[in-house]
Amino acid sequence: MKNLLFLLLTLAYTIPSIGQQEIPVDPHPHIVFGPGDYRVIAPRGINLRSKPNTSSSIIKNIAYGEKVMIVHKDHYGFKYLGEVEDCDVDSSKLKYPVIGYWLKVSHEGNQGFVHSAYLYNYQYRYYREYQTNVFYDLLRSGMDCGFNFRYNSDWHYYGIYKQDSTLSLREVNRISFTHTMGDFFNFATTTENDCDLEFIIGTKNPLSTGDLTTKTALPKFNRSLDDFGFERDTLENGFMHMFLLSGDSKRKVIDCYGSDRLHNIGVQMCADFDMDGIDDYLISYGEKSIQINLYLSSEQSADGLLVPSATYFTGYCC
């Protein structure tokens, strides 16, 4: 899959080979930037500079999530900033370009220049009413076309790593988001170690790390609900209930959110992510605009209802 993402990205930029260090050409020479809710997506912030180049003086650092105003719709030059590495399924290195444009912006009374690779126009973000991603985040590494920019500087982040049939949870110390402005996959999420990394969990409270166990004898990865003993129940008020059968008793009720995603539902992973001795799930919904929900047993309510702790929206890229 990552090979396919890389191929499409390469075609989008008309670059013969990133590995040959060829400088990408401007993919959108006539682009303009209209007014909108532009936010910083660099977790460590971006530098507001006095001129549109990386050697000019720094006016200030603008923190992640801060809003900037575009001063002029025209950009001040296309700029290739270098490459970001990702790992292929065989752990080999993939590289893709960080490109964009210098923009003149204002922030809290200061004007200067920033690079568009670290900005995102939030008017195109997903509008969801679900009460997810409040105490937890769910992210994935690599290229994507979804809008998954979520970061809290005082939170803890952990990677779910898959090696053969073993899952482990390890702390992630660095996360970066890059808006590459490609024609297919516009956004990149990377860490200091993306090899074998499947998902990233963010949480306000620390988690235990180490190998992840599962109580079920069924396969851990990418299987249908039936393989995991789920029984679908009634659809009411836009919610679908699924009962996970344990012997003759109903152990959990999982609230799936939404009648528009009742098809192509499957369990991505089954493991004890929060290490409380009870299995947790990553369940995907839908063929287009897929969302993946993280269900943690430690968040189960007193009446047995288990709602998503975090949601990852993958988008639909073509």
pLDDT per residue over 245-261, tens digit each?
665 555 667 766 554 55
Q: What b/e readout covers 64-86, taking b as 16+ CB neighbours within 10 angstroms?
A: bbeebebeeeebeebbbeebbeb
11 pLDDT more than 70: no
- Measured in degrees and rounded to the nearest 5, phi and psi for residue 291 equal -120, 145
- d(CA 251, CA 249) in angstroms, rounded, equals 6
Identify the DSSP state of 38: E
Bridge-based pairing of strands 249-255 and 305-306 is: parallel
314 pLDDT more than 80: no
- d(CA 309, CA 312) in angstroms, rounded, equals 11
Q: Which percentage of the chain shows pLDDT scores above 90?
A: 33
Topology annotation, domain 2-124: SH3 type barrels. (2.30.30)
The pLDDT, as a whole number, for residue 226 is 74
Q: pLDDT grade, residue 243 (50/70/90)?
A: confident
Q: pLDDT grade, residue 35 (50/70/90)?
A: confident
Nearest to 143, CA basis, from 111, 170, 105, 181: 181
225: which 2 tokens? 């609900």
Query: How far from each other are the two terminal CA atoms of the chain, in whole angstroms?
Result: 15
The pLDDT, as a whole number, for residue 290 is 73
Which residue ranges make up each domain of the chain? Answer: 2-124, 136-315
The pLDDT, as a whole number, for residue 23 is 77
306 pLDDT more than 60: yes
- d(CA 98, CA 24) in angstroms, rounded, equals 9
- d(CA 187, CA 96) in angstroms, rounded, equals 11
Tell me the average pLDDT of the chain: 79
Among 14-18, 128-132, 217-221, which range has the highest average pLDDT?
A: 217-221
Nearest to 43, CA basis, from 129, 152, 126: 152
The pLDDT, as a whole number, for residue 182 is 56
Bridge-based pairing of strands 221-224 and 266-271 is: antiparallel
71 pLDDT more than 50: yes
User: At CA 90, angle to CA 85 and CA 92, rounded to 5?
Assistant: 35
The pLDDT, as a whole number, for residue 27 is 81
304 pLDDT more than 90: no
Question: Greater confidence, 96 or 4?
Answer: 96
The pLDDT, as a whole number, for residue 262 is 57
Tell me which of 65-69, 198-202, 228-232, 271-275 is least confident: 228-232
Among 48-52, 179-183, 269-273, 313-317, which range has the highest average pLDDT?
A: 48-52
Mean pLDDT, residues 177-185 taken together: 69
